[in-house]
Structure 1
Amino acid sequence: MSIRTPATAVSLAALALAALLATPAAAEEGMWTFDNFPIARANQTLGTSIDRAWLDRVRLSSVKFGGCSAGIVSGAGLVMTNNHCVATCVANLSTPAVNYAETGFAPRNREDELKCPGGTAEILTDISDVTERMQAAGAGLTGQAFTRARDAEAGRIETEACAGPDGRAVADRRCQVVTLYRGGQFKLYTYKKYSDVRLAWAPEDRAATFGGDLDNFSFPRFAIDAAFIRLYENDAPEVTPTHFVWNADRPVEGTPVFVSGSPGSTQRLLTQDQLATVRDVVLPLDQLIASELRGRLIRFSQESEDNAFIAMDPIVGLENTYKRGLGRMRALTDADFMNRRADAEAEFRAHAAADAALTGRVGDPWSALSAVQPIARELYPAFALLEGGTGIGTTPVAGGSQLFLWARALVRGAQERQKPSAERLPEFGDARLAALQASLFAARPTYPALEQVRMEWWLSKTREWLTVDDPRVRALLGQESPEQLSARLVAGTTLADPAVRRTLWEGGLAAVEASEDPMIRYLLSIQDETRAIRSDWETRVQAPTDQASERLASARFAVYGDSAYPDATGTLRLTYGKIEGTDVPGQRFGAFTTFGRLWDRATGAAPFDVAPRLLAARDQIDPETVLNMAVSSDTIGGSSGSPVVNAAGEILGANFDSTVLTQRNAYGYDRAVNRSVIVTTGAVTTALRDVYDMGRLVEELGVD
């Protein structure tokens, strides 16, 4: 792996990172990139002796699976992740008559492992620095010209890196330009990609979600939130000689551990003014409308058994989103927490102001970012509702309607592919088309009733938030009500058929414009309005934010050096900590839960009812077997499924949650309360061997 990192500035405060984060850095703090992991600091803190070779083995054993993380655990492409990470795959493979969420999925042999529709997995193989090219691309430009020039350069870099000898994109490779330090660095990440991912085992959903939403984001927990997928290539299991070694021994409190995964997004490098916008505008919008969508889906699920089946996975996802947002809102309204961040920012600004040469070079990026906030506050609701947010929000465009999203990809894809790759919207650049096509062509079930609920909710909430008189709302609805329009579009579309989607994609703009499909016609009709809000956001918010953030990053490097870590960006990171509980108000617990305590907690009534197969095996299970454990690692959403490994490179479990107080982790690490929740390899081994009759996997894992 090629690694090039800017020189580190000399600063006694570098390790403290006090001006970078909301609180002075604890020893375990940081979601570190693999090319800048603080090996010496980690070894000193934990008493370990890992090295660069160890890091490479961990990196090559770590897997990105959709929006989750995972780890390779055998030489035959077997990968452990969370059950909730395969929930969509399980739902897509299930029917009301054969519901694997209820029964579990326990294939007798590898031939019975089933392909996850549209599922992809990736392993990070290379990191290289492209900062100079990316920063040069936007030099001297402003507004949308700046963002488009950057996007175009990223597309060129990705296309070059993913091209084979014949100039065509290599099918099993994905290349991504990753922004780090909010523009301070740009790295090219190259991945080995697997488009054939098969479900190898999943427990009953109730075994993985015991306690339901009441226990979510809490500890103690009693969940076997684990599952296995397998990587296939050329219709055969992939050979993976580099993998984690399975260790099913009882974990020991105080053991140093490392968590390798792809945390989704943090906002620790935002200024206080930027966070005020998140607190006052972004989170309230996201929380209010997500709670209403959740309510509509719960009502929908109560109407019939079929509705309950098709709404189960979406409801769980919304509950997670809502609780995560609630924890973050509590952080941003915590005066103590925010005052510590404010003090840190003031210290940073003072250090920068004391260096006249630095000030002359970067100016005052804090004031520049402050000036953007009134515009961001004005534009965010429309941008979130019509385009799907900014990376710091969670509002789903069209309520997450799959039919709408397919139609948008087809319409915009056809329009954008008429242009040279460098001039397109970045998601339609040549280097990204293969992944988009795979998603479009995958055979996934859709449910018209659910699609209509999603679209109806979106149309009604957009009208409510933007108001009836907004011209964009008039364009969205015309003379129809949200109920009428959503019903007509969903009933008339044929996009549920992957053959139809393929034909439209391959037919290009002519086929799309000639289509009579009402969902396609609708997306064609609203492009002016939706593209306009995107353009406005890029010109007035994204571009000045990116430019000021780049100067802020330059100041940060000058004051603190690059011993700091960047915000999480959905790319592979390594964190570390110890197995331990906490003893703070509102969060006092030990490090472990056991099967014996699960039986004690069970009431027989949902959500504290034990899964039938698990309950039937009660007498075969040692009640002292550790089920879940808490770890003081630095994680966030997206870390789900992350392998938890010891200094020997042995896997001890998989991260599946964190506590509600940990949700402030988006804005700053607090060692006193930050705890990741882990399902142990011992619990998984017990489930495989004693509950689900999966002895063949136990043998593959090397367990005696």
Structure 2
Amino acid sequence: MSLRRTFSFTASLAALGAAAAVMGVTATPARADEGMWTFDNFPIQTVNDKYGTRIDQSWLDGVRNAAVRLQGCSASFVSGEGLILTNHHCVISCVQDLSTAQNDYVKNGWMPATREEEKTCPGQTAEVLTDITDVTERVLGAGAGLEGAAFVTARAAEIDKIQKDACGDDRKLTCQVISFYRGGKYALYQFRKYEDVRLAFAPEFQAAFFGGDPDNFNFPRYALDAAFLRAYEDGKPVATPNHLKWNPNAPKEGEVTFVAGNPGSTSRLLTMSQLERLRDQQIPTTLIQSSELRGRLTEYSTQGEEEKRVSLDPIFGLENGFKVNYGQLGALTDPAFMAKKRAEEAELRQRVAADPALLQRIGDPWADLEKTQATARDLYLPYRQLEANAGGGSTLYSYARAIVRASKERAKPVAERRAGYADSDIAALGRRLASEAPIAKGVEEIQLSFWLSKTREYLTVDNANVKAMLGRENPEGIAAKLVETKLIDPAFRAQALAMTPEQLASSGDPMIAFVLANDDAAQAVRTQWDAGVNAPTARAAEKVAQARFAVYGDNLYPDATFSLRLSYGQVKGWTYRGVTVPAFTYMGGLYERATGAEPFNAAQRFVDAESRINKNVVYDFVSTNDIIGGNSGSPVINAKGEVIGAAFDGNIHSLGGSYGYDGELNRTVTVSTAAVTEALRNVYNQPRLLRELGVTR
């Protein structure tokens, strides 16, 4: 599975219904092994009392300093020379970018003999969290007395100022103000950033994703979903004394485990009205569109070997995106699960009503959110098609829109620009636009034509914005013209970013001209969404958060926000409907499961190495840790602070993990360091990496 930020879980409807029926929800202080805890509010004593561990603040600091945030994924430093452990599916975009028709590293793997051969991953960054500062009062105060779009603008400006004050123009830092508890708290997270990240090792795709889609979100698993990157600075590997010690031995049943990573997004604190709109409108729309686009790209992939190669990662992403929404919808349509959510919300509201002072202070934010959902239903489709999902995933479209909007903002006095468009922001955009990652025109054309056709379908032919976009042409014809943009060339992107709006208009580039012609309409829709949805939602959510704090105290973990978290648990299988699933799989099981036919064909290197492999080595294992999409590549750590694996999946019972956690059934799936060590030694012959990891035997 991909636990990258935008993806999550799925499986059969039968399993989904039963799993969701028993799932818990975080309205009260966390129980069992539930919780994706921030590092400044981790329940140290609770964990030590339950598992007999002796973790302390120093232990937490050591883990935090070794944890790494990638683009959409998690990782960790595992040597003193910048070596980073993550999942293969977290680097597959890089591997594909580095591949050509002649050298397909996705299919064959990337195993450089020396550091000098390690290749830069275009656009990848590695960030380490260094400081956390509470800025709640500043952010909440910025919107005081304001409503609608003015409220959103003021908040955004203050957040931008906080970030600029802390990091300035220092390219080695990232400063991000993050909302917690749905707006109940805001914190400034400061990161040390590395912009030169290189691919140090990646197995072949078939080894990393053995079993393919049928095994996805299931266990037992036999996947070597692991890869290594390396952080560089000034052309040299970064010195990383704060790293996790590599433990080449598998954990034992019942052993305590910790997962440090960046879970992308959960919705456990949403109100019933918000969940119902997700269930009734947003998720079904996304499911329909992603499944159709997947079909179009799958058909394209059958046209030849090169088409198959360049569409592999987009299809891989779409399949996981489809599954997260499928799993979420299953949870939200389960009557027992929704009844539990409804009862817990009713309890909180009753306790607020019984406290006159609290009731007077916060009013009825649940009723406010119900009204906001009515507005959101009306605005969602135009907002989605014209702004939030504009371009349909096209990289070239995203480049054009970024350039056009930067040009418009740069033409304004600095004080009047929107947040995020200071000169330093535009300079950072220029660095991102300089990426030399290859762009597949065929995939781009499918994405663009699909987006245009669905916009026409959802907003109707008579919609003024649709008429302006399509004119007298059809989506396919427009898409074919748009992909002939000169933006495919990094040098032209740099030139375009320096142009004024007038110069862009006279550039003659079809994609830039298209975005210029339609961007005002898109921004108008965004302004409507800010005024009618974002602003009132933020106001009401703050009050709901205040209610939770007042009723349940501060022993709560916030919803996931792709910020560094730590979960705790133990190595443990599960029993469901009388069937017990053990906690471990072993490397010998790969050969028993392999059939020789896709997707159960073992990678050729594994076939060739069968006689050398110790088949008793633990391959993958499961634990009770609470994770979600974005945790891909997270180090799984033992009580000594040693890395014992990389989390890469969840079992079928964690389908509704966005909305709740069930300690009896939810499991994290991890590739063990024992298996990675065995593969490096006896499959891939990588003594250089083994020495760096401290493995000498």
Kindly state the Cα deviation for residue 250 of structure 1 after the two structures are TM-superposed: 2.4
1:118-517 → structure 2 map (5 Å cutoff): 118-163=123-168, 169-388=169-388, 396-419=389-412, 423-429=416-422, 432-491=425-484, 493-517=485-509
1:632-671 → structure 2 map (5 Å cutoff): 632-671=624-663
1:432 and 1:127 map into 2 onto residues whose CA distance is 22
2:579 and 2:520 map into 1 onto residues whose CA distance is 50
Partner-residue secondary structure (3-state), 2:341:
helix
1:561 and 1:235 map into 2 onto residues whose CA distance is 49
Kindly state the Cα deviation for residue 663 of structure 1 after the two structures are TM-superposed: 2.4
Residues 485-536 of structure 1: CA distance to partner in whole angstroms, max 9, x if unpaired?
0001112x11011010011113344542332110000000001211111111
1:10 aligns to what?
Answer: none
1:508 and 1:43 map into 2 onto residues whose CA distance is 60
Instruction: Please say if residues 174 and 431 of structure 1, whose CA atoms lie closer than 8 Å, have aligned partners that are also in contact.
Output: no
Kindly state the Cα deviation for residue 430 of structure 1 after the two structures are TM-superposed: 5.3
Partner-residue secondary structure (3-state), 2:89:
coil
1:24 and 1:556 map into 2 onto residues whose CA distance is 10
Q: 1:564 aligns with which of 556, 568, 591?
A: 556
1:518-537 → structure 2 map (5 Å cutoff): 518-537=510-529
Kindly state the Cα deviation for residue 467 of structure 1 after the two structures are TM-superposed: 1.4
Partner-residue secondary structure (3-state), 1:565:
coil
Scaled by the length of structure 2, what TM-score is found?
Answer: 0.95
Residues 576-602 of structure 1: CA distance to partner in whole angstroms, max 9, x if unpaired?
111111112398411111111111000
Partner-residue secondary structure (3-state), 2:88:
coil
Scaled by the length of structure 1, what TM-score is found?
Answer: 0.94
Partner-residue secondary structure (3-state), 2:220:
coil
1:197 and 1:181 map into 2 onto residues whose CA distance is 33
Kindly state the Cα deviation for residue 283 of structure 1 after the two structures are TM-superposed: 0.5
2:6 aligns to what?
Answer: none
Partner-residue secondary structure (3-state), 2:102:
coil
Amino acid at match of 2:152: T
Kindly state the Cα deviation for residue 427 of structure 1 after the two structures are TM-superposed: 4.2
Amino acid at match of 1:149: A
In 2 relative to 1, CA 672–20 (structure 1 residues): closer, same or farther, beyond 3 Å? closer
Q: 1:34 aligns with which of 28, 39, 46?
A: 39
Instruction: Please say if residues 25 and 661 of structure 2, whose CA atoms lie closer than 8 Å, have aligned partners that are also in contact.
Output: no
In 2 relative to 1, CA 348–404 (structure 1 residues): closer, same or farther, beyond 3 Å? same
Residues 316-345 of structure 1: CA distance to partner in whole angstroms, max 9, x if unpaired?
111111111111111111111111111111
Instruction: Please say if residues 622 and 669 of structure 2, whose CA atoms lie closer than 8 Å, have aligned partners that are also in contact.
Output: yes
In 2 relative to 1, CA 43–330 (structure 1 residues): closer, same or farther, beyond 3 Å? same
2:10 aligns to what?
Answer: none
In 2 relative to 1, CA 313–429 (structure 1 residues): closer, same or farther, beyond 3 Å? same
Instruction: Please say if residues 209 and 223 of structure 2, whose CA atoms lie closer than 8 Å, have aligned partners that are also in contact.
Output: yes
The runs of 4+ residues in structure 1 deviating greater than 6 Å are none
Q: 1:111 aligns with which of 116, 121, 130?
A: 116
In 2 relative to 1, CA 633–426 (structure 1 residues): closer, same or farther, beyond 3 Å? farther
Kindly state the Cα deviation for residue 100 of structure 1 after the two structures are TM-superposed: 0.5
Partner-residue secondary structure (3-state), 2:647:
strand
Q: Percent identity?
A: 50
Kindly state the Cα deviation for residue 420 of structure 1 after the two structures are TM-superposed: 5.2
1:41 and 1:419 map into 2 onto residues whose CA distance is 53
Residues 392-436 of structure 1: CA distance to partner in whole angstroms, max 9, x if unpaired?
xxxx43221111111011111111233356654444355644543
2:241 and 2:292 map into 1 onto residues whose CA distance is 48
Kindly state the Cα deviation for residue 444 of structure 1 after the two structures are TM-superposed: 1.1
In 2 relative to 1, CA 436–561 (structure 1 residues): closer, same or farther, beyond 3 Å? farther
2:580 and 2:464 map into 1 onto residues whose CA distance is 53
1:526 and 1:588 map into 2 onto residues whose CA distance is 56
Partner-residue secondary structure (3-state), 1:526:
helix
Q: 1:692 aligns with which of 684, 687, 692?
A: 684
Instruction: Please say which of residues 582-591 and 43-52 is displaced more in the overlay.
Output: 582-591
In 2 relative to 1, CA 266–433 (structure 1 residues): closer, same or farther, beyond 3 Å? farther
Residues 591-628 of structure 1: CA distance to partner in whole angstroms, max 9, x if unpaired?
11111111100000000001111221111111111111
1:437 and 1:46 map into 2 onto residues whose CA distance is 49
Instruction: Please say if residues 82 and 654 of structure 1, whose CA atoms lie closer than 8 Å, have aligned partners that are also in contact.
Output: yes
The RMSD of aligned alpha carbons is 1.6
1:439 and 1:586 map into 2 onto residues whose CA distance is 52
- Is 1:61 matched with 2:54? no
Amino acid at match of 2:656: R
2:543 and 2:280 map into 1 onto residues whose CA distance is 25
In 2 relative to 1, CA 23–606 (structure 1 residues): closer, same or farther, beyond 3 Å? farther
In 2 relative to 1, CA 129–667 (structure 1 residues): closer, same or farther, beyond 3 Å? same
1:605 aligns to what?
Answer: 597
Partner-residue secondary structure (3-state), 1:499:
helix
Residues 40-69 of structure 1: CA distance to partner in whole angstroms, max 9, x if unpaired?
112122221100111111001000010000
Kindly state the Cα deviation for residue 189 of structure 1 after the two structures are TM-superposed: 0.5
Instruction: Please say which of residues 460-469 and 153-162 is displaced more in the overlay.
Output: 460-469
In 2 relative to 1, CA 703–549 (structure 1 residues): closer, same or farther, beyond 3 Å? same
1:534 and 1:585 map into 2 onto residues whose CA distance is 48
Partner-residue secondary structure (3-state), 2:37:
coil
1:310 and 1:329 map into 2 onto residues whose CA distance is 30
1:627 and 1:525 map into 2 onto residues whose CA distance is 54
2:330 and 2:262 map into 1 onto residues whose CA distance is 24
Instruction: Please say which of residues 44-53 and 94-103 is displaced more in the overlay.
Output: 44-53
Amino acid at match of 1:596: G
Amino acid at match of 2:515: L
List runs of 5+ in structure 1 lacking aligned partners.
Answer: 1-17, 164-168, 389-395
Amino acid at match of 1:340: K
1:209 and 1:422 map into 2 onto residues whose CA distance is 50
Number of aligned positions between the proteins: 674
Instruction: Please say if residues 628 and 678 of structure 1, whose CA atoms lie closer than 8 Å, have aligned partners that are also in contact.
Output: yes
Kindly state the Cα deviation for residue 271 of structure 1 after the two structures are TM-superposed: 0.2
2:500 and 2:436 map into 1 onto residues whose CA distance is 20
Q: 1:589 aligns with which of 581, 584, 592?
A: 581
Amino acid at match of 1:565: Y
- Is 1:50 matched with 2:43? no
Instruction: Please say if residues 175 and 191 of structure 1, whose CA atoms lie closer than 8 Å, have aligned partners that are also in contact.
Output: yes
2:121 and 2:139 map into 1 onto residues whose CA distance is 36
1:122 and 1:197 map into 2 onto residues whose CA distance is 11
Residues 68-104 of structure 1: CA distance to partner in whole angstroms, max 9, x if unpaired?
0001000000000000000000000000110001111
In 2 relative to 1, CA 64–191 (structure 1 residues): closer, same or farther, beyond 3 Å? same
Partner-residue secondary structure (3-state), 1:270:
coil
Instruction: Please say if residues 22 and 667 of structure 1, whose CA atoms lie closer than 8 Å, have aligned partners that are also in contact.
Output: no
Amino acid at match of 1:336: A
Amino acid at match of 1:308: K
Instruction: Please say if residues 328 and 663 of structure 1, whose CA atoms lie closer than 8 Å, have aligned partners that are also in contact.
Output: yes
1:522 and 1:641 map into 2 onto residues whose CA distance is 39
2:26 and 2:410 map into 1 onto residues whose CA distance is 42
Residues 188-220 of structure 1: CA distance to partner in whole angstroms, max 9, x if unpaired?
010111110000000000000111111111111
Kindly state the Cα deviation for residue 660 of structure 1 after the two structures are TM-superposed: 2.9
Amino acid at match of 2:321: T
1:14-25 → structure 2 map (5 Å cutoff): 21=26, 25=30
2:667 aligns to what?
Answer: 675
Instruction: Please say if residues 584 and 672 of structure 1, whose CA atoms lie closer than 8 Å, have aligned partners that are also in contact.
Output: no
